[in-house]
Structure 1
Amino acid sequence: MKAILHENLVKGRVYLLLSLFLTSFLFAVSCSVEENVENEEVEDEASLPVSVLEPVQRDLAEIKESGVLRMITYYSSNTYFLNQGIEVGFEYELVKEFARENDLALEVVIVGADENPFDLLNSGQGDLIAANYTITPERRDIVRFTRPYNLVDQMLVFSSQAPEQPQTLEELSGSGISVSVRRNSSYFSRLQDLIDEGYEIDINIMPDAIDTEAALMQVGEGELMATVADDNMFDAANRYMDGLFPGPKIAERDTIAWAIRQNAPDLESTMNRFLYKHFRFTDDRENPRRSTFLNILRKRYFEESRQIAEFYNPEWQYQTIGIISPYDDIVKSVADSLNLDWLMLTAMIAQESSFNPNSKSWAGAVGLMQVIPRFVETEYEQLYDPVTNIKEGARIIKEHLSHYSYMDSTNQWQMALATYNVGQGHMADARRLVIDQNKNPNEWENVSGALLMLMQRRYYQEARYGFARGIEPVQYVKEIMNRYRTYEAIIALAENQQRGSISNAMISTGLSN
């Protein structure tokens, strides 16, 4: 048992590599569609490639009505990633604080290999893009930006394996060194401006799935000769990546902000008030003032990245595919034995204990799934054993699912999760209250509203089990369902990586058609 846990914990420490190697494989598979763009070809592309031109109507009122704020981002160490199964990242933590202050659950929408973040935003699949985006005129044609929360310099970064590492734009001009950037990036726009100014720069267009962090990895490994990065991202990456050579700055004091739909003024003003508390600067953009909270985030993700550095040990490259937490193997085994969705169990563990097997709540619930001792026959001390605890928690949620087996899958899980959190008695009271309102008691939307009503005296005084802090199970269900969808996206990325590596292997051995 200890050996299995040790192996899982080693794996768990390194799954952050997932983002880089996902994008690295995607890059290799996509090489055939990449192209070196001649200067005149670059100039012909006047706007960003988007397919959704009219944004859906979803302002702050609609977001609050749904209770969920959806954040569009990339899976990388400075935006969003999993650390021992827990969601972290500079952008994630900043957006999560905004969501918390506005009583919203946060759902992460990861940009897929063939997806455009601007289309995801304007189609309503997300509510903001939080991905270290620079404000540019080209982007302003498509979206609105909040007030800034950071200032950065754009800099060229060369591979130490490149024939030369120019230290000025004059040295780069006409050198034949291709600078690889995404078409929808601010770096592309800045390089175009330099071309307009007379510099001869070869631009290599990368797939949108290759974010700045992945591009830096490719440069460090010598697969790309050069790219562009913000100085804070380069400083962080340079701590754990070899082979990077800093070049000249191509832009200074660029503003970084969140992108939102153009028809969401209430969301914009609310976000601006939030960001104003954390970041301010003068007209000359010198000496910006940051809140303590923002300084902590900057230090954690950009200035002191020791924890990130150890995740990037190349020896672990092939051990990280599809890993969510250190307990994946145990959860999968237990889930298979009970015909349960292992990702849903994992999302429950994240919500219940943050993957801490020694966790104990004020109510006496213990272990990974916060099992209450009186509801099981297992000895108390055994509940701190991960395998035992997961088995007992899975057994309990299975019983709740069986109780709601006549419902569709989504309502069944939502009801079962709420019951796991608040108990069968309060759930029965809530469903009776729904019936009294002549609504369907088998719809979670109705029951969740009734749970909130059980916090009011005029309703709970008539309930069999009395007062219920209904906001807790409602938030509990939202958080788990949101996290589950994010885990699904991460697994899908991992499967794409595996398919890409298999395709490459077939090509290299001559097995493909």
Structure 2
Amino acid sequence: MRIMAVRLVAGAITLALMAYAWLAWERARDPEPITILERVLERGELRVITRISATTYYQTDKGRAGLEFELAQAFAHRLGVQLRMLVAPDLEAIFAALDDGEADLAAAGLTYTESRGQRYWFTPPYKDITQQLVYRVGTPRPDDLSEIGPGELAVIANSSHADRLRELRNRSHPDLTWAEDEHADSEAMLYRVWNEELRYTVADSHELSINRAYYPELRKAFEISGVEGLAWAFPRTEDLSLYNEAARYFTDLRLEGTLSTLLEEHFGHLGRFDYVGFRAFNRHVADRLPRYRHWFEEAAEEYGVDWRLLAAIGYQESHWDPQAVSPTGVRGIMMLTLDTASMLGVDNRLDPKQSIFGGARYFSRLLERLPEDIEEPHRAWMALAAYNVGYGHLQDARRLARQRGYDPNDWRVIRDHLPLLSQRQWYVQTRHGYARGWEPVHYVRNIRLYYQLLQRITEPGRRQVPAGEALGEPPLPTPPAPPGAPLPADPPAD
């Protein structure tokens, strides 16, 4: 009996071992499929297809930049992999890269549409926009699509704009016609309208806002859509592992406030458009800036500040007029007070070199004077505000913010508290009293805009595809982000 029991146990063990060996063999022969997210992690690289534009991705003299780049870079860092940006020549190539598996996702300022939603997964939107019909000042402004004649309207092929026009034609404008350009991008279409090669086009609201700074005669005739969302696109497969991770990423960005900071950085400073002001700026860049640029560059090198930021300050102060004099007695390109000039060793405020170097020295001192825990670029915007309204009033606004439970190191917060200094119920609580607190808010907004314009004007390579990133081109090695690197983000604008 005991022998039989031993034999039964031995047989059971043998059968179990055989079953385990068979399962292991089957698993080796037919392993479980790897998920898209696991494939990205195993590869150690996130492949993102994008396009070159001022609102998505571009090259600067300091490296790669753009909203989509910063979002993708932070997402790759979150995954612990390197980022490989692939630049597509047009929208068709973007979607083809998703279809063919050349890219893991598309981050290219894409709008969700019903037709696109049938082919791709879209993350929750990260920015709201509208589609706008664009015309040039001096040409007829239509009030409705029915006023647009044959040959007058063109849009980008395979775009959400083309989808929307088809929808409107089917619904209410059967006679509407337009052309679709397979090779142009949004900025090229806007340029064609500005250059009077084309009567009308359609652009997303944020793209028009940015490009009006360079083509100030462009105008919105009317909106052809309601509010729509920009989002990332993924291949529409049953494997949602990478998509779900991206959706969680955007949710976290929104909850942390990082997304709003990025959007403010890239779009918040545009503010109200000043047609006359931009025409004057472009004219002064051509006829005034060349006389003083070398001094801005020399002062910037000495004090460790971007020369274009110093030039933007000078333009806001005096329009680069060395003989400028205000009713309050401030003078010169950088509009220094007599006391400030004396403190800085400037004995002739109307001398452009002395004024520029004095202004650079003063701005540098304000940067150094601010508390060390204020990070860039919040630090720069607060120093600009102090340049305008005075360091004491800036600190008053920071104290008010702290008293009310807000972060005094965040420019968005200070931007909202500076105007309180003009209201008695608030300025009586401060050390330095009343100030026209709305002035530094507009001051900083204007300088940020002039700074952005100067960056674009002086960096002709911004529209070039970085080496190794054209679709189909072998990649260049990309250094990984340092451990614990924060999401690249500038503070908001006004």
Larger radius of gyration: 2
TM superposition score normalised by structure 1: 0.45
TM superposition score normalised by structure 2: 0.47
